Amino acid sequence: MNSIISTLRTFLGWLRSGSPTWGSIPVPAQWVFTSLGVNLFIACAGISAGPRAMAALQQAGRLGDFRE
């Protein structure tokens, strides 16, 4: 199985060397994917850390009278 994968990778690399534009992603699309990825990471990190951060701040007394 490894020899088949190796042969396939070699063949695909040879194809790409002949026409480097084959399989490329336009720069604006790369920017969108990067921006979406970063924004999704920040949103997921914030959603998962939010309740614990609020509880820690309430326990430390930094929020005053703020209640959920």
Of 66, 45, 46, the closest CA to residue 55 belongs to 66
Residue 43 lies in a domain: yes
pTM above 0.85, yes or no: no
Q: Is residue 2 part of a domain?
A: no
Residue 65 forms part of a structural domain: yes
The secondary structure of residue 46, as a DSSP letter, is: H
User: Does any domain span residue 14?
Assistant: no
Residue 28, pLDDT score: 92
Between CA 23 and CA 11 the distance in angstroms is 14
Cα 55 from Cα 68, distance rounded (Å): 10
Domain that holds residue 46: 25-68
Count how many domains the chain has: 1
In a domain, 56, yes or no: yes
User: pLDDT tens digit string along 6-57?
Assistant: 998 888 888 777 666 666 788 899 899 999 999 999 999 988 888 888 788 7
